[in-house]
Chain A
Amino acid sequence: METLYLIFIDPFVQMVVEPAFLVEVLIGGLTSGVMYSLVALGFVLIFKASGIFNFAQGIFVLFAALNFVGLMDLGVHPILAFVITIGIMTALAFVVDRLVLRPLVNQDPIILFMATIGIAFFLEGFGETLWGGDVRPVRVGIPDEALFWEAGFGEILVQSADLFAGVIAAFLVTTLALFFHFTPVGRALRAVADDHQAALSVGIPLNNIWVIVWAVAGFVALAAGIMWGAKLGVQFALSTIALKALPVLILGGFTSIPGAIIGGLIVGAGEKVFENYWGVPLLEGATEDWFAYIVAMIFLFFRPQGLFGEKIIERV
């Protein structure tokens, strides 16, 4: 009886009694959710355009951030470093396309998936050979101070860096949405995502599109890397956290950009709330490791295509 009370009643009582804490937990969860969303966004872009499940997206985040921080440590101005890193990511997209994807065209998805794992290994070693394996802080002048927000029901502590990350993410998503809807390249990308052969037959050059899409994914990775780096420092752990983007994809659907964003927010907020109200009191904590995956797994039973994904239709 007591256990049942602790599971089903007590957490909600806590939430009502201390709404300020709940809001703080939610904000913390949403900001980490934004990070998951950004990584998931990179996955979705590539999956939509080429049907490749790019396992290296997490390493892309790390690699982009490493380059950015490495250049800044050499005394390059942040904006210049940003531009150079975008250049590097574009070059990387080109190399990946030429050396990995083209020779493997028409292979099984699992072979391409393996190849992206190979890319992940290579980039991990390459990035650390170039810039070393230490944890590096990112100093791009993002203000990081505690703000107190006086709400009607109590005082809420918010990190300004978190707010900043949220703003950047919103900006990025809007930019991408505009890019996809109103530029010729964006339209071409959507066309390719919709139907490869039809896109090819109306004259969209598939090869270039793949380079572009990998470059855009690289750009998203850079944004995610900078924000994550500002929060935690650029370190190898980034690529493991990036695995969390996978359940986010499941929740949101593999082919949906808004799905990636909303899925990320749900996962981020959900795991923080679960950790604080159920995990720590009842399960000795560290539930954040698996919460997202279990939720994704249960979710799959009921809606395999995700919240916003296209319905999976099978034809014989």
Chain B
Amino acid sequence: MLYREAGQFKTSYSADQAMLTIPLDRWFVFALAAFAIVGVPLLASEYLMVSILLPVLILSIAALGLNILTGYCGQLSLGTGAFMAAGAYLAYKIATNITWLPIWVVIPLAGLCAAAIGIAFGLPSLRIKGFYLAVATLAAQFFLLWLFVKVPWFVNDSISGVPPAPPRTVFGFQVTGAAAGDEAKYLFVLAFVIALAWIARNLARSRIGRSWMAIRDMDIAAELVGIRPLPTKLSAFAISSFYCGVAGALWAMCYINSVEPTAFDINRSFQVLFMVIVGGLGSVLGSFLGAAFIFLLPIFLNSAPGWFGYSVASDTITHIEFMLFGVLIIFFLIVEPHGLARLWQIAKEKLRLWPFPY
């Protein structure tokens, strides 16, 4: 009753092709964005903003990137961490060597570099698919990280190999490095998130997004109807790596405030893959839900015993956390293999009929 399409007529092509055709959806998204931009910096505590929202938002970008590749184009990748690392290291390199370049140009530039690397490692996808491709992307994961650690050029010959993020400002507010204000950092990242999510949503329903989905669903059939696999797959790799690169750059510049290889190891790749699968393959919303779920679950598991007055040794907690994490993943896959985004969709369909049963 409250939420419905019935009676909402579109009278122009532009209304028909709008991203969110139902007014209620549109208002909800606008309200959410407005709340994220204005409400959160005013209301949220420092801890919530820097330790929870910031990483969740950045990982959402990475999850969006992987979702483009795996969810929309059907190419399984385990190299997300490496593409994030490429973004982080190159953002550092560009920011420190071309100091006059504003940081909001540097980060997309680093994303473009990551995209170029992504294309190179996406080449095997033309011959192989599925798990074979996953192993080929593992090559990217291990080789790129080794390269960034071993070649001191990337970190300007820094002795420790873990240089701090250079402080940069946008509109006079410092947004990167340890000294940056929480609100400034948050809003800076949020701007990227909103822009990239909007682009991803539109890409997915454009010609290129539809050709990705055709390739995903059946590549031979897609080829027969005239979709060229080479540009389609490589564009998915490029755009996915661009997103991951931007996420990596933001992660290093705004969240951990230093460029270090351990932040982008194989576990990061798996973490982002979990986000995509738990959130929902082929869904922009799912990337956000998955990122929030996977990132917050360990935090919740960690602090849950404390709320009930139990104190448990920290290594036991870590082990139990692992166990619960595994069980929850399996449980989730069994209950809803299509992810959190699908649950949201089911809820919306229920809402459409509410309060009547059918």
Contacts and interface: CB of A to CB of B under 8 A. Distances in A.
A and B from one assembly? yes
Interface of A: 53, 99-100, 103-104, 107-111, 113-115, 117-126, 128-129, 133, 240, 243, 246-247, 249-250, 254, 283-284, 286-287, 289-290, 293-294, 296-297, 300-301, 304, 314, 316
* Main SS at interface, chain A: helix
B310 to A, nearest CB: 16
B315 A133 contact: yes
16 contacts: A100-B330, A108-B337, A114-B273, A121-B326, A128-B322, A129-B319, A240-B266, A246-B138, A247-B138, A287-B146, A289-B145, A289-B146, A293-B135, A293-B136, A297-B135, A316-B220
B334 interface: yes
B325 interface: yes
A254 B131 contact: yes
Nearest to A110: B76
A226 to B, nearest CB: 23
B326 A111 contact: no
Given A107-B337, A128-B319, A290-B143, A297 B136 contact: yes
Interface stretch (B53-61, B98-106, B122-130, B204-212): B122-130
A286 B150 contact: yes
A117 B266 CA distance: 13
> In the complex, which of the residues B70, B123, B131 has the most CB atoms of chain A within 10 Å of its own CB atom?
B131
B277 A120 contact: no
A121 B326 CA distance: 5
B322 to A, nearest CB: 3
Contacts of A124: 319, 322, 326
A115 B278 CA distance: 11
B224 interface: yes
Contacts of B132: 250, 254, 300, 304
A312 B56 CA distance: 40
Interface of B: 70, 76, 121, 123-124, 127-128, 130-132, 134-136, 138-139, 141-143, 145-146, 150, 218, 220-221, 224, 266, 270, 273-274, 277, 281, 315-316, 318-330, 333-334, 337
B329 to A, nearest CB: 4
Nearest to B124: A300
B270 A117 contact: yes
B326 A123 contact: yes
A314 B146 CA distance: 36
Which one of A109, A125, A128, A246 has the highest number of Cβ atoms from chain B below 10 Å of its Cβ?
A125
Given A121-B326, A125-B321, A283-B150, A297 B337 contact: no
Contact of B127 (A120, A289, A301): A301
B333 A104 contact: yes
Nearest to B324: A125
In the A-B complex, the 5 residue pairs with the closest CB atoms: A125-B322, A122-B326, A121-B326, A125-B323, A293-B139
A121 B76 CA distance: 20
B150 A284 contact: yes
Given A111-B337, A115-B333, A316-B221, A120 B131 contact: no
Contacts of B143: 290, 293-294
B333 A118 contact: yes
A250 B333 contact: no
Given A249-B135, A293-B139, A316-B221, A122 B323 contact: yes
A121 B135 contact: no
B277 A114 contact: yes
Given A100-B334, A294-B139, 6 more contacts: A104-B337, A128-B322, A129-B320, A246-B138, A287-B146, A297-B136
Nearest to B330: A118
Contacts of B316: 129
Contact of A114 (B131, B321, B333): B333
Which residue, of A100, A109, A115, A284, has the highest number of chain B Cβ atoms within 10 A?
A115
A121 B325 contact: yes
A290 B324 CA distance: 32
Nearest to B219: A314
Contact of B274 (A53, A117, A243, A283): A117
Nearest to A283: B150
Contacts of A316: 218, 220-221, 224
B32 to A, nearest CB: 29
A300 B326 contact: no
A146 B333 CA distance: 50
A293 B146 CA distance: 12
Contact of B139 (A100, A115, A254, A297): A297
Given A289-B146, A296-B136, A118 B319 contact: no
A159 B321 CA distance: 40
